[in-house]
Amino acid sequence: MKYYMPTLIIEEDQVVINNQDIFGLYGKNPLIVTGKQSAILSGALSDVLKVLSIKGISYKLFDKVEENPSVETIESGAKQGIGCDYVIGIGGGSPIDAAKAISLLLANDITDSQTILFNNHKNEALPVIAIPTTGGTGTEVTPYAILTDHSLGTKRNFKAKIFPKYALMDVKYFMTMPKEIRNNTCVDALTHLVESYMNVNTNKYSDYIAIEGIRLWGSVKESLQEGELSEKDMKVFMNASTMAGIVIAQTGTSLPHGMGYALTYNEGIAHGRANGLLMKAYLSMCKDTNRVDRIMKALYFSDLEAFGGYIEKLLGRLNISNKVILKYSKDMMENENKLKNHPDKVVLKDIISIYSDSREIKN
Ligand code: NAP
Ligand code: ZN
């Protein structure tokens, strides 16, 4: 059995201010990568700038990362970062994934982004420090970066495996998430835990961590539904999200994530919501019902119906036509990377059923 997790996770109040030396470890000229607002709103950017100023470290800022970052954005970020020696990613999954991809381009030939990102690269990426503000993707502890590739009309993982050197976790950065973003991102973490637990690549460590992450998630699920999250509750979601990242770094994700990309790219449905909408129908078709039962138990749900009701109340249901479902399902059948992680044989009809059964119920 093997388990590789090289990211040093530090979780504490005032984590950036208390760990200033980390910002001097990799050079004197970082590129800070953020989205448009979240790094400012969460207070994380101002903490980082304070520390860089105390340490006399100059920096460059790329603050233009959109949700589901495109290859074009990665190229612009890399141009902005020429000459930098390491990268600090602050935000949700989008800016941190962008930070990883930019760090790879900066260490290689930034004029050949398609090759470097998706085929092969010569040099190791620049070091990345991740400071998350959603809980979430777990990208602070995964080697993945999910990019929007308009040339293929979809989202896809880059080829490299880049674990951040540090994941600096402070729950205060999560407290400014509006309710909808919070619902979507917290459900994303749950889908990671579930897709890891129902995966061909599990081993005993990933199983223990996944089921404990699911239990943690279940212990605060009511507060998410009620829409009132204390810092204590948010911390539990934050921990479950990082645990989810730790296990998908080992196992990968499977059907809901593969199927969700089409919903995000074509229907504009946020990443976490896209996966969450498919979760109940997906679990209903998993053949290992013992594992499904264990998930329900860990979440403190009586059965899958109760789980489905909870998710529906939180996220609503899917609204797409049969024609569109057929197209997305055929595309999914080409996604060998995700199909191979699912333990059962999957045929087109199964994928169609997951999409169809996740739709609004019309009387
Ligand atoms: P996101 O796309 O990074 O951000 C969604 C929205 O939330 C943005 O408007 C963002 O604002 C805002 N936001 C983030 N933190 C906030 C805060 N603390 N306060 C207020 N607003 C905040 O969301 P995400 O769900 O975390 O990331 C999704 C991306 O991660 C997708 O591209 C997905 O494919 C990827 N992903 C990656 C992995 C991995 O292992 N690499 C795993 C799962 C998902 P700004 O635009 O201002 O930042
Ligand atoms: Zn996800």
Position 363 scores a pLDDT of 56
Our answer on whether the CB atom of 108 is closer than 6 Å to any ligand 1 atom is no
Per-residue tokens: 142: 């995964």
Q: What percent of the chain has pLDDT over 70?
A: 99
Q: Which atom of ligand 1 is nearest to the CA of 42?
A: 18
361 pLDDT more than 90: no
Position 165 scores a pLDDT of 98
User: Hey, whose CA ends up nearest to atom 35 of ligand 1?
Assistant: 93
Ligand with an atom nearest the CA of residue 265: 1
Q: Which atom of ligand 1 is nearest to the CA of 270?
A: 25
Ligand with an atom nearest the CA of residue 65: 1
Q: Which atom of ligand 1 is nearest to the CA of 147?
A: 32
pLDDT per residue over 320-332, tens digit each? 999 999 999 999 9
Our answer on whether the CB atom of 132 is closer than 6 Å to any ligand 1 atom is no
Band the pLDDT of 63: cuts 50, 70, 90. Answer: very high
pLDDT per residue over 105-162, tens digit each? 999 988 899 999 999 999 999 999 999 999 989 999 999 999 999 999 999 999 999 9
Which of 34, 140, 181, 253 has the most ligand 1 atoms within 8 A of CB, as the residue to mutate?
181
Which of 42, 73, 97 has the most ligand 1 atoms within 8 A of CB, as the residue to mutate?
97
Q: Which atom of ligand 1 is nearest to the CA of 248?
A: 40
Say which residues have a Cβ less than 8 Å from residue 317's Cβ, sequence separation at least 6: 277, 358, 359, 360, 361
User: Hey, whose CA ends up nearest to atom 12 of ligand 1?
Assistant: 38
Q: What percent of the chain has pLDDT over 90?
A: 96
Our answer on whether the CB atom of 41 is closer than 6 Å to any ligand 1 atom is yes
H-state helical runs in 126-270: 179-197, 204-219, 221-226, 231-251, 255-267
Our answer on whether the CB atom of 174 is closer than 6 Å to any ligand 1 atom is yes
Which of 137, 156, 183, 251 has the most ligand 1 atoms within 8 A of CB, as the residue to mutate?
137
Our answer on whether the CB atom of 221 is closer than 6 Å to any ligand 1 atom is no
Q: Which atom of ligand 1 is nearest to the CA of 178?
A: 20
Task: Map residue 339 onto helix, strand or coil.
Answer: helix
Position 217 scores a pLDDT of 98
Band the pLDDT of 362: cuts 50, 70, 90. Answer: low
Find the length of the chain.
363
Task: Tell which residue, 300, 240, 301, 232, has the closest CA to residue 272.
Answer: 240
CA dist 121 and 109 (Å) reads 9
* Torsion, CA 334, CA 340, CA 346, CA 347, rounded to 10: 20
Our answer on whether the CB atom of 42 is closer than 6 Å to any ligand 1 atom is yes
Dihedrals phi, psi of 60, to nearest 5 degrees:
-120, 155
Interval 270-290 mean pLDDT:
98
The pTM of this model reads: 0.97
90 pLDDT more than 80: yes
CA of 59: how far to CAs of 38, 50, 72, 73, 87, in Å?
19, 12, 22, 19, 10
Interval 179-186 mean pLDDT:
98
Our answer on whether the CB atom of 144 is closer than 6 Å to any ligand 1 atom is yes
Position 265 scores a pLDDT of 95
In the sheet with 128-132, reading across from the earlier edge strand, the strands are 8-11, 166-169, 128-132, 86-91, 30-34, 60-62
Which of 68, 70, 94 has the most ligand 1 atoms within 8 A of CB, as the residue to mutate?
94
pLDDT per residue over 186-223, tens digit each? 999 999 999 999 999 999 999 999 999 999 999 999 99
Ligand with an atom nearest the CA of residue 97: 1
